Amino acid sequence: MTAPARTPAPPYYAVIFTSIRRDGDHGYQAAAQQMLELAADQPGFLGVESARQDLGITVSYWESPEAIRAWKEHAAHRQVQQRAPEWYRAFRVRVCRVEREYGF
């Protein structure tokens, strides 16, 4: 079992990536693992959560909009983004400010 990401007290930011994959791997798993490791090393990265069945949902957490923008524009990340049509039938990216958090 994977635990939810440990995030600081709000406010912070979430990038919600929802997707429907195409059939076949086409290098997806290796690229996804590489991007996860690279994102974790970026300034402002706070954590990530992901689940996939028919619809995949990955939420990454960031300190600021500037940190999100820097990750979006990272050269290796931009290269992988260009492969999206090969891997996904559809996807959406949503950026949100987290105002409240609770749980156990």
| Average pLDDT of every residue of the chain | 96
Average pLDDT score over residue span 36-57: 96
Residues 6 or more apart whose CB falls under 8 angstroms from that of 52 comprise 21
The structure's pTM equals 0.93
Q: Indicate if the pLDDT at residue 63 is higher than 60.
A: yes
Look at residue 2 in the predicted model and tell me its pLDDT.
Answer: 79
- What residue ranges define each of the domains in the chain, with the CATH number in brackets? 12-98 (3.30.70.100)
Residue 12 exposed, middle or buried by CB count within 10 Å (0-12, 13-18, 19+): buried
pLDDT of residue 104: 87
pLDDT of residue 23: 95
pLDDT given at position 1 = 53
DSSP 8-class letter at 93: E
- pLDDT for 37 equals 96
